[in-house]
Amino acid sequence: MGRIVCVVEGLNRRGEPLMRILALQNVTDLLGKLAASNRLEESVYAPQVAVVSCGAGKSSFLPCPCIDLGLADTNVGAHS
Amino acid sequence: MSEHILELNGLLAAFPPGMPVVFATEDLGFRSWISSLGLEAIAIDELSVPDHRSPAVVLIPLDYSGLPAPSILARLLSGIRVLWIPLASFDSDYESACYSLSLLFASDLETAVEKNRRLISLLLTAREPLEFEGGGTAASVVLDDELRVSSRTRVVLAEGEQTGIGTYCEVALPTEMTDFAQAYEVGGVFCVEGILVSRHRQMPENNCGEFREARRVVEHLRARLPLLLHVEDNRLVESESLADVYETLRRVTNEKYDLLLTELAFGSNEGIRDRVDWRMNAQVNEGCGGIHLGVGDGLTGAHIDFVSPVGSLRGA
């Protein structure tokens, strides 16, 4: 298994994190797991690359003023 | 003034070519300065006025108390492209605001995003610990197999997409708050040339005292830059550079964290490095290249960034 990098690029129109998932392996299985609990917004570009939007606008990152839009209702902002 | 106008294309690269872009900020003087550059500037509350409705907005809050409630703001910004420049988290007086925007106008976002992609590729493929060195810094970073980073791999915002300017200028690995676990392990010595202090929009009033004290400590440290910062197991440790302020730093960044790193980031906006003024407490400074380490979350205490701009990741 290679490394997986999930890049949070911004927020979509519903305020959900818009992410690009990069992997050195086929991400089909990973997307299947994500689909079980999250909505997948955009299509998979290639077996190793997917652009998805996940969750309900919440992030588990520590809030950081440099990278946090502060738009979420809770203290845990969605990151940009 | 004309110098800035000539450089505008860098910042506006975040929007589709030819799309009209509105700058929204609350201070009249700052709006006048933006207007003098030939750009359209409006008050933030004017975003709700149909005549000012624009498909693309650069939103520059200088004081979070002047922003509409998040739910109202979300409605105002729904469906349009928004680039946030959160000056209110740093210094947002007129001089600081003009400084930040001038450097952002001079930034080449396309080149910065290319650098982000190279850095992310390096994170993705690295099999050995990454070595960061140069300019007096010598450190290593061990990465987990699953990383979440905040950055941009695309230059142009999609319709309805919002992001902060920081995502263009860095590849950041924030700490997971569920268990304070980091997906990296950092150790080494960092030669720090710049220090920034900031706070989250939602910092409670009762933490503002710590924030003010953090500002004083940072000013004190700026007077003795460059500093040598020692990091062991993802934590700032006491060293000669910090000896007289170490306990204060712990306290103002929430002593519960005990100076655990809350952010590890690689700057990618290298084109502005020669123009950075380290006396300014401006977010744009931290993205000028190299590496920066953050302590504190900006909410329960101050967030302080230590910027080591000269070194580079081996292979980046």
Check pLDDT > 80 for residue B17: yes
Determine the pLDDT at residue A56.
37
Span A4-31, average pLDDT: 75
Span B174-195, average pLDDT: 85
Enumerate the residues of chain A whose CB falls inside 8 A of the CB of residue B90: 65
- Measured between CB atoms, does A49 come within 8 Å of chain B? no
Which residue would you say has higher pLDDT here, B15 or A68? B15
Confidence of residue A30 (pLDDT cuts 50, 70, 90): low
| Contact (CB<8Å) A5/B124 | yes
Question: What is the residue type of B299?
Answer: L
Determine the pLDDT at residue A29.
65
Query: Which residue in A7, A11, A62 is closest to B262 by CB distance?
Result: A62
Which residue would you say has higher pLDDT here, B11 or B5? B11
Confidence of residue B180 (pLDDT cuts 50, 70, 90): low
- Measured between CB atoms, does B73 come within 8 Å of chain A? yes
- Phi and psi, residue B195, nearest 5°: -135, 135
Determine the pLDDT at residue B69.
84
Enumerate the residues of chain B whose CB falls inside 8 A of the CB of residue A75: 202, 299
Least Cα distance to B56 among B35, B76, B80 occurs for: B80
Residue of B nearest to A12 (CA): B161
Confidence of residue A6 (pLDDT cuts 50, 70, 90): confident
Residue of B nearest to A76 (CA): B177
Of the candidate ranges A12-26, B75-89, B130-144, B225-239, the one whose mean pLDDT is the lowest: A12-26
Confidence of residue A27 (pLDDT cuts 50, 70, 90): low
- Measured between CB atoms, does A24 come within 8 Å of chain B? yes
CA distance B120 to A8: 12
Other Cβ atoms within 10 Å of B208 Cβ, number: 12
What value of ipTM does the predicted structure carry? 0.91
CA distance B251 to B161: 37
Determine the pLDDT at residue A15.
73
Span B84-106, average pLDDT: 95
A6, A21, B15 from A31: Cα distances, Å = 12, 9, 29
Q: Which residues of A39-67 are buried (b: 16+ CB within 10 A; e: fewer)?
A: eeeeebeeebebbbbbbebbbebbbbbbb
Least Cα distance to B304 among B166, B169, B197 occurs for: B197
Span B147-166, average pLDDT: 91
B65, B68, B151 from A10: Cα distances, Å = 23, 20, 8
Span B142-159, average pLDDT: 90
Check pLDDT > 80 for residue B20: yes
Span A21-48, average pLDDT: 58
Span A20-40, average pLDDT: 63
- Measured between CB atoms, does A33 come within 8 Å of chain B? no
Of the candidate ranges B115-124, B136-145, B174-183, B229-238, the one whose mean pLDDT is the lowest: B174-183
Determine the pLDDT at residue B276.
97
Check pLDDT > 90 for residue A48: no
* A54, two tokens: 């996940």
Query: Which residue in A11, A73, A75 is closest to B299 by CB distance?
Result: A75
